[in-house]
Amino acid sequence: MKIVIINYGAGNIQSIKFAIKRLGFDAILTDNEEEIRSADKVIFPGVGEASSAMEMLKATGLDKVIPTLKQPVLGICLGMQLMCKYCEEGNTEGLNIFDVDVIKFDGTEKVPQIGWNQIENLKSNLFKGIKEKEYMYLVHSFYVPLNEESIATTNYGIKYASALKEKNFYGVQFHPEKSSKAGAQILQNFLEL
Partner 1 sequence: MLTKRIIPCLDIKDGRTVKGVNFVDLRDAGDPVELAEIYANEGADELVFLDITATEQKRRTLAELVMHVAEKVNIPFTVGGGISSVEDVDLLLNSGADKVSINSSAVKNPQLINDLAAKFGSQCVVVAIDAKKINGEWMVHLVGGKVPTDIKLFEWAKEVEERGAGEILFTSMNHDGTKNGFANEALAYLSELVNIPIIASGGAGNMQHFADTFIEGKADAALAASVFHFKEIEIVDLKKELKKKNIPVRL
Give residues in contact with partner 1 (CB under 8 A).
Answer: 12, 14-15, 18-19, 21-22, 47-49, 107, 109-118, 135, 137, 139-141, 155-156, 175, 177-181, 183-184
The DSSP-derived string for 91-124 is GEE---SEEEEEEE--SSS-SSEEEEEEEBS--S
* Nearest of 181, 14, 149, 24 to residue 84 by alpha carbon: 149
C-beta atoms surrounding 181 within 10 Å: 7
* Nearest of 159, 157, 158, 113 to residue 136 by alpha carbon: 113
Min CB(49)–partner 1 separation in Å = 5
Min CB(23)–partner 1 separation in Å = 11
Annotation marks residue 140 as catalytic: no
d(CA 92, CA 74): 20
Annotation marks residue 175 as catalytic: yes
Min CB(22)–partner 1 separation in Å = 7
Using the minimum distance from each CB to partner 1, give the nearer residue, 79 or 183.
Answer: 183
Q: Which of 77, 84, 134, 149 is catalytic?
A: 77
Annotation marks residue 177 as catalytic: yes
The set of catalytic residues is: 77, 175, 177
